[in-house]
Each structure stands twice: as structure tokens, then as C-alpha cells.
């Protein structure tokens, strides 16, 4: 027998009341930041400061040239791709930001092993031009450069890029850079080798066609660069001969008109190569750039006759904007004491005139040639 008295009493009595919940005042949402965001001006200044540094770091790591100056450089090299392996499971804990970066690195594809090189078909090179496959074009440049010069269906890769239009101007610049790289890496004796001579003839044909194509399609902004590579493809003979003639004119003084001689030399070269005066239209500023470079190289060659330690100005700087001038001005400053002690009064005056007139960008190259004519090609009026 069981005693259920307690259970029956609890069932018959009313349940105890639970305490009423305490109401709390509602908190209104007020989102806030630990620190205020910087102003637009601060962000812009940071971008202006960091962008050049980031671009420089990327350009030094990347084998692909992205601008005309980089494309025209002769020091472009390819570097193998690196693969970042994912961390092992037993590594120590990392911060959320590092963990995020490591997650990204896991998605990186491993570098494909390179097999034996096989020359691509012409259509593959043209397709690479259309697709802007710069890595493939650079591989062809390194493996078999003449393939970038060959014509297929009345067009070479450079002409094909020009015909596509402005969307492929960067590819035209890169291909022009490969031309410049090939020419600048040749020594004097290399120009006489049969295999190189054939490649240079093909290169010149491409440049002539590109200049003609540029005029026909009003794509004239790259024509001075085409002419510059064409001049360098002549090797050092034309350059040395012309610098020697201008140096002799500087040594003899105003009666030999050294400025006019330098300017007419580059114009005569272009007229001889093109054969038609209309092709010279729009090249006056380039002729001015080339003429003043010839004058500086000639003047510095005269300095080298008296100062044996004077370094020569690299030929590859010729007609490349102000590269020759910067080198020339630095050399004049570096050897200023020896110049003051050993040179003739006429040559010292010519050096100071060149440094003074060619400094800055307030005048165009043509304008600087005009000023130099007045200073170096005419006798000063009697005092």
C-alpha cells in the first residue's frame, strides 16, 4: 500500500506564481567606428605616395614590359614562376590576415615544367598578338627572335597589331621593344655575320612598313621610335662617322656650322632611307633631338682627346629624349676641374653653351636647335 497524500495535495493547490520579468529599457542602435575614416584628401595623398612604389616593385618582378620606355629597354629578362606550397597541418596558429593570404596562396597553380622548345606556327604568333599574350611573345623573342619579323598573309606581327588599332597599341610598343633590344645587344662584329645581316634586313623592312602604315592610319606617335631603331640598326659606323664630322666642325668653329651639320646629317639619313620627303613630315622634333645628341656626343669626344679618363656616352642613348643630355651634364660636372685646366677656351664655351641651352623643357627640340644655331654657328658680334 502506497501513501499518495502529498501528491494529491499538490495537485489540488494552485500553482505558485513565477516572479514577473524585469523590463529593461530598449537600447537604440547607434553604430560607431573605433576611429573616424580619413578624409578623401588623405586617401588620395597615400595613393599618390604608394602607387609608384607598388608599380616599381611589380615591374621589377614581372617579365612583361608595360610601357614604351620599358619596351625600348635592352635589359628585359624573364624569371621563372614560383609556386607557394600550402602550410602543413602541424604549423602554428596564424593571424586571420595571414590565414586569408595563405588561403589565396593555396589557389596558385604550380608552374608547368617546360619541355623541349618547338618553334610556333605563324598563326600561333598572330593569335598571341590578337589575344595580347605577352608572355608567349616574350618566349618567342628569347627563343627565336626572327619569328617576330616574318610576314604571314602580307603582315608581320607588328603590322598586324597596328592594323587591329589603338586597342593593340601596347602590343605594337612591346614588339618595337624587341626590335630595339635585338639591335642594342649586337656588337660591331655581329652586324657582319650573315645570319644577323639577314635578320637586320627583315627588321628594317618591318620598320619601313610600320612607318608607312603609321602615316596611312594616322598612327604617327610611334614613328619617331621606329626611326630611332632604324638608325641604331645601321650599327656604329654611321654614328661614329657622323659624330666625327660634327666634332671636326666644332673644333674648327662657327665657320663650319656644327649645328647645321648635325641637323642635316640626320635629315639626310632619313631622306636617303625613305626616299620621299613627305615621310619626313612630323619628324622635325625627332630630328632636333637627334641633332643635339650628335652635338653633345661630338663635343664629349673632343673632351676625351684631352681627358683620357672621360667615359664615353653610350650609343644606345641616342635620340631617346633627354638621356644623352643627362649623361652629358653629369660628365661635365664630374670632370669640371680637368675641363677647366686642360681644354681650350672655345671647347669650354661650347660645353657650357650646350649645358645651358639644352637644360629643361621650356623649349622643344626644334626650338633648342634654333637657339644653338645662333650661339654656335654664327660669330659673336664685335664688342
- Residues 286 and 332 reside in one and the same domain: yes
Phi/psi for 53 (5° steps) reads: -65, -45
Residue 148 in any domain: the answer is yes
- Residues 286 and 181 reside in one and the same domain: no
**∠ CA(249), CA(230), CA(298), 5° rounding?**
20
Measured CA to CA, the distance from residue 129 to residue 250 in angstroms comes to: 47
The mean pLDDT of the chain is 78
- Considering its fold, how many domains does the chain have in total? 2
With a pLDDT cut of 70, the percent of the chain lying above it is 69
- Residues 210 and 256 reside in one and the same domain: no
Residue 141 in any domain: the answer is yes
Domain that holds residue 138: 122-232
Measured CA to CA, the distance from residue 94 to residue 73 in angstroms comes to: 42
Those residues with Cβ within 8 angstroms of residue 287's Cβ, 6 or more apart along the chain or in another chain: 263, 266, 267, 270, 280, 365, 366
The pLDDT of residue 252 is 92
Residue 305 in any domain: the answer is yes
- Residues 328 and 203 reside in one and the same domain: no
Domain boundary among 232, 261, 290: 232
- Residues 149 and 252 reside in one and the same domain: no
Domain boundary among 232, 266, 300: 232
- Residues 288 and 320 reside in one and the same domain: yes
Contact assessment for residue 261 and residue 294, using Cβ atoms and an 8 Å cutoff: no
Phi/psi for 108 (5° steps) reads: -65, 135
What does pTM read for this prediction? 0.66
- Extract the C-alpha cell encoding 347: 671647347
CB atoms within 10 A of CB 161: 25
Residue 184 in any domain: the answer is yes
Residue 158 in any domain: the answer is yes
Q: Is the pLDDT score of 64 beyond 70?
A: no
- Residues 227 and 306 reside in one and the same domain: no
- Residues 205 and 294 reside in one and the same domain: no
Residue-wise pLDDT for 324-381, tens only, equals 999 999 999 999 999 999 999 999 999 999 999 999 888 999 999 999 999 999 876 5
Measured CA to CA, the distance from residue 254 to residue 333 in angstroms comes to: 25
- Residues 225 and 267 reside in one and the same domain: no
- Residues 159 and 259 reside in one and the same domain: no
- Residues 249 and 308 reside in one and the same domain: yes
Q: Is the pLDDT score of 299 beyond 60?
A: yes
Domain boundary among 232, 258, 273: 232
Residue 41 in any domain: the answer is no
Measured CA to CA, the distance from residue 364 to residue 133 in angstroms comes to: 37
Amino acid at each position: 500500500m502506497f501513501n499518495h497524500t502529498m501528491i494529491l495535495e499538490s495537485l489540488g493547490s494552485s500553482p505558485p506564481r513565477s516572479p514577473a520579468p524585469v523590463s529593461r529599457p530598449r537600447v537604440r542602435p547607434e553604430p560607431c567606428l573605433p576611429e573616424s575614416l580619413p578624409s578623401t584628401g588623405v586617401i588620395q595623398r597615400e595613393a599618390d605616395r604608394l602607387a609608384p612604389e607598388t608599380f616599381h616593385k611589380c615591374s621589377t618582378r614581372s617579365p612583361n614590359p608595360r610601357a614604351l620606355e620599358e619596351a625600348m629597354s635592352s635589359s628585359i629578362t624573364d624569371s621563372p614562376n614560383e609556386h607557394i606550397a600550402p602550410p602543413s597541418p602541424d604549423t602554428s596558429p596564424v593571424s586571420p590576415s595571414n590565414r586569408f593570404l595563405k588561403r589565396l596562396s593555396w589557389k596558385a597553380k604550380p608552374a608547368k615544367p617546360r619541355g623541349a622548345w618547338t618553334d610556333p606556327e605563324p598563326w600561333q604568333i598572330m593569335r598571341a598578338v590578337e589575344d595580347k599574350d605577352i608572355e608567349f611573345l616574350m618566349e618567342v623573342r628569347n627563343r627565336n627572335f626572327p619569328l617576330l619579323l616574318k610576314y604571314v598573309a602580307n603582315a608581320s606581327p607588328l603590322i598586324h597589331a597596328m592594323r587591329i588599332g589603338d586597342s593593340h597599341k601596347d602590343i605594337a610598343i612591346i614588339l618595337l621593344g624587341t626590335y630595339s633590344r635585338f639591335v642594342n645587344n649586337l656588337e660591331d662584329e655581329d652586324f657582319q655575320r650573315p645570319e644577323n645581316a639577314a635578320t637586320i634586313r627583315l627588321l628594317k623592312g618591318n620598320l619601313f612598313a610600320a612607318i608607312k602604315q603609321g602615316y596611312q592610319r594616322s598612327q604617327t606617335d610611334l614613328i619617331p621610335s621606329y626611326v630611332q631603331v632604324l638608325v641604331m640598326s645601321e650599327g656604329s659606323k654611321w654614328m661614329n662617322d657622323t659624330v666625327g664630322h660634327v666634332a671636326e666642325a666644332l673644333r674648327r668653329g662657327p665657320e663650319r656650322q656644327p649645328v647645321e651639320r648635325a641637323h642635316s646629317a640626320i635629315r639626310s639619313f632619313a631622306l636617303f632611307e625613305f626616299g620621299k620627303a613627305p615621310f619626313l613630315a612630323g619628324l622635325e622634333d625627332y630630328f632636333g633631338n637627334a641633332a643635339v645628341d650628335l652635338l653633345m656626343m661630338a663635343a664629349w669626344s673632343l673632351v676625351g682627346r684631352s681627358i683620357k679618363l672621360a667615359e664615353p656616352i653610350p650609343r644606345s642613348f641616342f635620340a631617346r629624349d633627354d638621356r644623352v643630355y643627362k649623361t652629358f651634364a653629369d660628365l661635365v660636372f664630374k670632370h669640371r676641374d680637368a675641363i677647366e685646366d686642360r681644354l681650350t677656351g672655345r671647347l669650354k664655351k661650347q660645353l657650357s653653351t650646350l649645358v645651358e641651352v639644352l637644360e629643361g623643357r621650356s623649349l622643344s627640340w626644334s626650338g633648342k636647335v634654333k637657339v644653338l644655331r645662333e650661339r654656335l654657328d654664327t660669330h659673336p658680334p664685335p664688342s
